Structure 1
């Protein structure tokens, strides 16, 4: 439940910053400060590995709001779903520790948008994640990226997605929902 309250707080702050500062360029790195709470830790008293990805959602909400993409998505009946994600840990975040969550749009291909997240303390990366998200219509189907970025202005100068990200996306993909995906552990 506390993540619901944190999400609402992040959304309120992001909307306030959007009104005050205007929309961010989609190439901007979004940064928010987060503290590790007692509800975030595991028995080893550090941030639970599963909680990182939940907290990284907060960075996406902030960036989507501050770039104006969230309003455009709401107006057009679009929503994002995470299709794949991977995370790498370097150091542990401890109870009460503050860190900066950095979020950046890495680029897109014909089917997905890629975002990067970093948990940073004192300029050092503690954890890093890559997210593959699809933008869908509530009425069904995928939103083409030209239409998505046209709603807020196409970002210029997005870097090319590194080859390993495409390889990871292909290697981690499950079959389409229109095809069978039997659980066979051979």
Structure 2
């Protein structure tokens, strides 16, 4: 439940930042400040591994709101979903510790958009995640990359999905939703 309050607060804060002129470009790095709360902790008293991914959701929301795409996608009846994610931990975050979530779109392939998130303390990476997402239409179906690029424009030449991320997307993919996916061990 605490993440629902954080999400609502983030939506308000990001919209206020946008009104104050803190607009982001579609390919910029977004940054939000976060503090580890008691509800973020696990039994070992550091931030629970699952909470990182929820906090990184906030980074994506901030990007979409401050670059103006959230309202445009809403107008078109599009919404984001995560299709794959992978996270690597380097150092633990402790109770009340402040950190920055950095989020950036690193590119796309034929099926999705790649976003990188980092939890940063004093300029140092504590945790890093790669997320591959896509956009669905409320009317049904998936937003194509071509439709997406009509709105966002092409990425700058220096922004490309690293080869390992492209391979990762292939390696972790499950069958399409209409195909069988039996749980055979």
CA distance in 2, matches of 1:128, 1:163: 17
* SS at structure 1 position matched to 2:183: coil
* SS at structure 1 position matched to 2:139: coil
Residues 160/154 of structure 1: CA separation in 2 closer, same or farther (3 Å cut): closer
Aligned to 1:94: 94
Is residue 106–residue 158 contact of structure 1 (8 Å, CA) maintained in 2? no
The gaps in structure 1 that reach 5 residues or longer are none
Q: How does 1:13-32 map to 2 (within 5 A)?
A: 13-21=13-21, 23-32=23-32
Aligned to 2:40: 40
How many residues matched? Answer: 185
- CA distances 1:51-91 after superposition (whole Å, capped 9, x unpaired): 10011111011011001111111000001110000000000
CA distance in 2, matches of 1:85, 1:135: 15
Is residue 46–residue 93 contact of structure 2 (8 Å, CA) maintained in 1? yes
TM-score (norm 2): 0.96
* SS at structure 2 position matched to 1:21: coil
Identify the range of structure 1 (155-164 vs 96-105) with the bigger mean alpha-carbon deviation: 155-164
> RMSD across aligned C-alpha pairs, in angstroms?
1.2
Is residue 104–residue 117 contact of structure 1 (8 Å, CA) maintained in 2? yes
Residues 107/158 of structure 1: CA separation in 2 closer, same or farther (3 Å cut): farther
CA distance in 2, matches of 1:88, 1:37: 21
Is residue 107–residue 155 contact of structure 2 (8 Å, CA) maintained in 1? no
Aligned to 2:61: 61
Is 2:75 the counterpart of 1:75? Answer: yes
Residues 160/4 of structure 1: CA separation in 2 closer, same or farther (3 Å cut): same
The gaps in structure 2 that reach 5 residues or longer are none
Aligned to 2:134: 134
